């Protein structure tokens, strides 16, 4: 809990005297009829509290933090398990004050009174947005009585998301754990995949590896055999695996609110076919270069642009594209084969927060930032694509921690060289 308390203090230090910040817990989402999705706390809220119950709110003032939460309810606890409750919250969460969530709305006018700026994540909860705007307006209209309310509302991302971008030691440890569980799943797939299995059977191997270590999927796993790998967000996972196919698996574990995000592409049989191997090596070389380039001071934009150069050079050597690298980049011909970015921030959210640009220029990497490195090539089944490449889709994705020296690959335990993958596949 200490980490959460020190994050709240950092937020307080970033605030001015007349500021107040309000954070609302995630809503409970309905899957169908009266069945709810498994509750997952809002990432910002969890970052600041470590509290994973619904119907809660956090108010941060420059010199005080108040958590609003549900009172314990024996009947609810019978159905849904223990609740922390107001009485235990101060000690457990090391928070200054805990209050009943039922008094949150009646307290808000007092909490916003004579505050100049309200930090709040507007745009997510229409009803709460309106309530806070209306309350602020009502306070402002009482200026004749000498009171006022916030005349400025600032998106709370501005306070928090820069902080979340650079991970603290505790977060890095949790990322290592999420990466390790993610590695278990990919290694199990290398060993257990057989021709004629269905994609969903591989998905069940992923689930088993995650649940064995009390983790869940960070996002719906992509298990794509053959040409399905060319569908970037393929999650149907219901087709049969054929001989001499490549299988693209994009799967990551969420553990303690931190997320792995890894892709491997491997043969359904013991070895890659020759065109598969040639295309795979192009992506792998580009990925290894991109990881080497992921160092303090470079921007993700630069890494991406250099990766595009590598991939275009590869596509020319594979005789998929003709002409020079510069011509192909200028004309965008490569976008038919590589249409996504090379990486994204990773952390409490799979596509983690933090802007990619600062003051109009691409943000430079700093130690403690974590990102994915994930080049790919996708060859559609179309007449102008060399026949032997048609329907091949390859992506290789690792999770990388930026340091003051070489980047640390958190998911390095999962093999990716042709030699290492074929060694496992031939031995099974």
> What tokens does 27 get?
């809503």
Which letter does DSSP use for residue 241 in this model? P
Distance CA 160, CA 164 (A): 6
- Nearer to Ca ion by C-beta: 235 or 298? 235
Of residues 316-345, those binding Ca ion (CB under 5 A): none
CB of 297 to Ca ion, least distance (A): 25
Q: Give least dist CB 116 to Ca ion, A.
A: 42
> Minimum Å distance from CB 237 to Ca ion?
15
Q: What is the DSSP letter of 221?
A: P
Residue numbers 58-97 binding Ca ion by CB under 5 A: none
Q: Which is nearer to Ca ion, 261 or 422 (CB)?
A: 261
In angstroms, rounded to a whole number, what is the distance separating the alpha carbons of residues 280 and 172?
30
CA atoms within 13 A on the CB side of 39: 14
Q: How many residues bind Ca ion (CB under 5 A)?
A: 2
Cβ of residue 338: shortest distance to Ca ion, in angstroms? 15
Angle, in degrees to the nearest 10, between helices 169-192 and 418-426: 50
**Shortest distance (Å) from residue 263 CB to Ca ion:** 5
**Other Cβ atoms closer than 10 A to 242:** 13
3-state SS string for 47-94? HHHCCCCCCCEEEEECCEEEEEECCCCHHHHHHHCCCCCHHHHHHHHC
- Nearest distance from residue 350's CB to Ca ion, in Å? 7
Radius of gyration of the chain (CA): 25
349 binds Ca ion (CB under 5 A): no
Q: Which of residues 164-193 bind Ca ion (CB under 5 A)?
A: none
* 388 HSE (CA, 13 A, CB side): 11
Residues 6+ apart with CB under 8 A from 215: 178, 181, 253, 254, 255
Part in contact with Ca ion (CB under 5 A); list of ranges 65-73, 144-152, 233-241, 260-268: 260-268
Which residues are marked as active site? 34, 233, 250, 261, 340, 344, 351, 374, 378, 395, 397
- 266 in helix, strand or coil? strand
C-beta of 17 vs 233, nearer to Ca ion = 233
Q: DSSP code of 17? A: T
Q: What is the tally of helices (H) and strands (E) in the chain?
A: 13, 21
50 token code pair: 């470590």
- d(CA 75, CA 65) in angstroms, rounded, equals 29
If the CB atoms of residues 250 and 398 are measured against Ca ion, the closer one turns out to be: 250
Residue 254: CB minimum distance to Ca ion, A: 13
Q: Which is nearer to Ca ion, 53 or 250 (CB)?
A: 250
Do strands 393-395 and 376-378 pair parallel, antiparallel, or not at all (unpaired)? antiparallel
Q: Which is nearer to Ca ion, 184 or 261 (CB)?
A: 261
Residue whose CB is less far from Ca ion, 184 or 250:
250
**261 forms part of the interface with Ca ion (CB under 5 A):** yes
In whole angstroms, give the CA distance from residue 202 to residue 218.
16
Fill in the per-residue mask, 219 to 258: x = in contact with Ca ion (CB under 5 A), - = not in contact: -------------------------------x--------
Four-residue CA torsion sign, 267, 271, 274, 280:
positive
Report the distance separating Cα 227 and Cα 392, nearest Å. Answer: 6
Asked if 19 interacts with Ca ion (CB under 5 A), we say no
Positions in the binding site for Ca ion (CB under 5 A): 250, 261
């Amino acid at each position: 809990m200490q980490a959460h308390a020190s994050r709240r203090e950092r937020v307080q230090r970033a605030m001015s005297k007349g500021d107040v910040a309000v954070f609302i817990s995630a809503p409970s989402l309905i899957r169908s009829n009266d069945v709810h999705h498994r509750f997952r706390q809002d990432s910002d809220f969890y970052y600041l509290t470590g509290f994973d119950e619904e119907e809660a709110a956090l108010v941060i003032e420059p010199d005080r933090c108040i958590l609003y939460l549900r009172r314990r309810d024996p009947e609810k606890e019978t159905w849904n398990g223990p609740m922390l409750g107001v009485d235990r919250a101060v000690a457990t969460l090391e928070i200054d004050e805990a209050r009943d969530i039922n008094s949150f709305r009646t307290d808000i006018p007092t909490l916003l009174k004579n505050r100049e700026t309200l930090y709040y994540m507007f745009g997510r909860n229409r009803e709460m947005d309106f309530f806070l705007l209306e309350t602020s307006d009502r306070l402002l209209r009482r200026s004749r009585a000498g009171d006022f309310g916030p005349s400025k509302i600032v998106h709370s991302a501005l306070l928090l998301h820069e902080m979340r971008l650079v991970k603290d030691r505790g977060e890095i440890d949790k990322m290592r754990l999420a990466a390790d569980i993610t590695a278990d799943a990919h290694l199990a797939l290398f060993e257990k995949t057989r021709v004629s299995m269905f994609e969903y059977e591989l998905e069940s191997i992923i689930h088993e590896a995650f649940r064995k270590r009390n983790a869940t999927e960070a996002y719906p796993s992509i298990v794509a055999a053959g040409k399905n790998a060319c569908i970037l967000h393929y999650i149907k996972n219901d087709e049969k695996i054929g001989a001499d196919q490549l299988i693209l698996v994009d799967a990551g574990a969420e553990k303690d609110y931190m997320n792995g995000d890894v892709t491997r592409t491997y043969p359904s049989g013991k070895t890659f076919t020759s065109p598969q191997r040639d295309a795979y090596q192009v992506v792998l070389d580009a990925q290894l270069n991109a990881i080497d380039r992921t160092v303090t001071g470079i921007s993700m934009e630069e890494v991406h642009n250099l990766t595009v150069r590598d991939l275009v050079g590869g596509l020319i050597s594979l005789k998929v594209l003709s002409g020079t690298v510069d011509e192909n980049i200028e004309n965008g011909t490569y976008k038919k084969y590589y249409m996504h970015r090379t990486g994204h921030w990773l952390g409490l959210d799979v596509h983690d927060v933090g802007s990619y640009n600062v003051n109009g220029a691409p943000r430079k990497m700093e130690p403690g930032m974590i990102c994915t490195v994930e080049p790919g090539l996708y060859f559609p089944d179309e007449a102008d694509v060399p026949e032997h490449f048609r329907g091949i889709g390859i992506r290789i994705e690792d999770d990388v921690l930026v340091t003051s020296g070489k980047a640390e690959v958190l998911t390095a335990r999962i093999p990716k060289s042709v030699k290492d993958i074929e060694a496992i596949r031939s031995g099974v």
